[in-house]
Amino acid sequence: MASAARDLRSRSGRTPPVDGNLARSLDWEVRERELRHAGETPRRREAAQERPKVRSLPKVQLRQAQRVSVLAVLSAAVVAALAVLVLLNYIQLTVLSSGVVELREELKALEKENVILTTQYEQMYDLATVKAAAEAAGMAKPSSSQVYYVDISGGDTAVVHRQQEKGLLDGLLDSLHHGIYAVVEYFD
């Protein structure tokens, strides 16, 4: 049987026989392998699997430990400190921005209140409203007998009375009083 399969292969080369169409069947290589090994005793694969495979690792050359530069440590610390400062500044910026938003909202509310209060103020000092309030309180325009005119066409004059001159004792007491007052003012 093996020789028949070999003869079939030798006549056609590597191509399998055609089964009515020119397409190869999908299991062609499997059948070829079975034909090549036909008549051989099956190999035991379990024996190969039971034997542990030992593999040797190549020797790894280790580098000596390198010393860390003090300058590198300091620069890393400075960079970390600057990063923290940037984050803190962003936090402050956020707080200030939220404060600005709150103040703008408060400004809008105060502007609305200003419009309302200005309107009330203008209504309060409306001449018709003032006249009505005055008449309700019993006020009336003054009559001609209640009006007095002052004539100042004669010029301005003033009379100054001189005080008597103080004696020596009064002058000393006044200067002592002013001195004490100045010291007390200085220390307050």
Structure tokens at 36: 């090549």
* Model confidence pLDDT, tens digit, residues 1-29: 556 555 555 555 555 555 565 566 667 77
Alpha-carbon distance 171 to 179, whole Å? 12
Alpha-carbon distance 124 to 133, whole Å? 10
- The CA distances from residue 187 to 51, 174, 181, in Å, are 106, 20, 10
Given the structure tokens 């009064």, which residue do they identify?
A: 170
Judged against a pLDDT cut of 90, whether residue 104 lies above it is answered with yes
Task: Taking residues 173-180, report their average pLDDT.
Answer: 89
* Model confidence pLDDT, tens digit, residues 125-167: 778 878 888 889 999 888 888 888 888 787 777 787 777 777 8
Please report the pLDDT score of residue 8 as a whole number.
52
